[in-house]
């Protein structure tokens, strides 16, 4: 779900971008001359028995099913003919066993932000395939000073499909960007991002009745939202342009169906959108947040420790912004953390152990307090 990194022109020249171009996936950067190539760093004391699930290409947004038996993720690999993100699912492998997976999207257009429904039989994801069979064009960044610009494709809608990839229902129909969907713990409500009312806000939809409610109203991007495991709260990433220049830039880009994701912070609120609180105030890109299984602590990705825009690492923090702890020690990119339903395992995506390429892969590990 949307993602943001402070990448200056210098950083882009040094690092480069991967093929991800979605709100759920920041560009994953890789440096060819990494000094180490490992799946686990000694400083990462909370993760044990790390297993690499994918090998090659760009793999991101890996999330568990409600029963913890399946994983859904999006994947691009030009060597395999996957020119832009498609949606895949696979069973969680036993320790030491390989991870096998299959594509469950149409293979047309671009997809993003997959999630499982609670019935254990369906998935939801956003796709542009109704707009065109081909990958939608990426923005010409030269037009915007070589900054990282993210497109709000108005052909994105959210669909429900079975595990064989058969679409059983189109969930959104509004003209404009509808994506970044997740499901409430009771399985009844979908939480997603849309620009249908002129800004980029969070909405809920009752999956049975189709009734919708706008959850956020402040100017700025709101996305990548999840419910807390107990269902009482939501957590998401947001930009909040404040100065006259920031507001003008945001609105000008939005008029072109674009957003410049350069400054994101973590926010929480009650499940109905009330009692909004800003958790982080670090600057740069603080995003991909999720609650710990206790519905109190928060895990998220951030590049705030470096003005260069990288590396990204995983951090934990309390709801009141206290007790910030660094959890990973990647030199390039760690993000998209999610705990298994029982809290015993964690899945995340990383540039580690990629042989000096720009590949981003999925990693599964045991979690220890």
Q: What is the pLDDT of residues 101-139, one digit of tens each?
A: 999 999 999 999 999 999 999 999 999 999 999 999 999
What is the C-alpha to C-alpha distance for residues 206 and 209, in angstroms, rounded to an integer? 6
Closest C-alpha among 66, 102, 67 to residue 87: 102
Helix (H, G, I), strand (E, B) or coil at 331: coil
Give the pLDDT score at 25: 60
Instruction: Say whether domain 9-367 belongs to CATH 2.120.10.30.
Output: yes
One-character DSSP codes across 129-160: TTT-SSPPPPP-GGGGTT---EE--TT-EEEE
Beta-carbon contacts of 253 under 8 Å, excluding residues fewer than 6 positions away, are 144, 149, 259, 260
Write down the domain spans for the chain. 9-367
Render pLDDT for 180-201 as a digit per residue (tens, 0 to 9): 999 999 999 999 999 999 999 9
| Helix (H) or strand (E) segment spanning residue 75 | strand 70-77
- Residue 143 φ then ψ, to 5°: -65, -20
Model-level pTM? Answer: 0.92
Indicate the SS3 state at residue 79. Answer: helix
Q: Which percentage of the chain shows pLDDT scores above 70?
A: 90
């Amino acid at each position: 779900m949307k993602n943001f990194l402070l990448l200056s022109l210098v950083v882009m020249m040094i690092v480069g971008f991967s093929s991800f171009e979605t709100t759920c996936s920041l560009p994953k950067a890789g440096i060819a001359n990494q000094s180490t190539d490992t799946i686990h760093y000694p400083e990462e004391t909370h993760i044990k028995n790390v297993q690499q699930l994918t090998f090659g290409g760009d793999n991101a947004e890996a999330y568990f099913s409600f029963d913890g038996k399946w994983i859904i993720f999006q994947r691009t690999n030009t060597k395999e003919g996957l020119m832009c993100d498609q949606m895949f699912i696979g069973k969680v492998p036993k320790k030491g066993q390989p991870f096998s997976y299959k594509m469950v999207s149409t293979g047309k257009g671009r997809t993003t932000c997959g999630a499982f429904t609670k019935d254990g039989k369906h998935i939801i994801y956003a796709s542009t395939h109704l707009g065109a069979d081909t990958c939608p064009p990426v923005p010409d960044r030269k037009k915007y000073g070589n900054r990282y610009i993210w497109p709000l494709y108005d052909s994105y809608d959210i669909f429900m499909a079975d595990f064989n990839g058969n679409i059983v229902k189109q969930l959104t129909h509004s003209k404009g960007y509808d994506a970044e969907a997740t499901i409430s713990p009771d399985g009844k409500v979908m939480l997603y991002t849309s620009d249908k009312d002129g800004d980029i806000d969070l909405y809920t939809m009752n999956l049975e009745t189709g009734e919708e409610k706008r959850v956020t109203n402040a100017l700025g991007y709101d996305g990548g939202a999840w419910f807390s495991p107990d269902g009482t709260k939501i957590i998401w990433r947001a930009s909040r342009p404040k100065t006259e220049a920031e507001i003008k830039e945001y609105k000008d880009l939005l008029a072109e169906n674009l957003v410049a994701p350069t400054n994101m912070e973590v926010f929480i609120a009650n499940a109905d959108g009330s009692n909004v609180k800003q958790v982080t105030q670090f600057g740069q890109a603080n995003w991909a947040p999720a609650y710990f299984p206790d519905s109190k602590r928060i895990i998220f990705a951030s590049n705030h420790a470096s003005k260069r825009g990288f590396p990204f690492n995983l951090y934990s923090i309390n709801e009141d912004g206290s007790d910030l702890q660094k959890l990973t020690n990647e030199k390039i990119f760690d993000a998209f953390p999610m705990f298994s339903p029982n809290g015993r395992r964690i899945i995340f995506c990383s540039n580690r152990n990629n042989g000096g390429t720009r590949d981003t892969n999925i990693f599964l590990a045991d979690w220890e307090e």
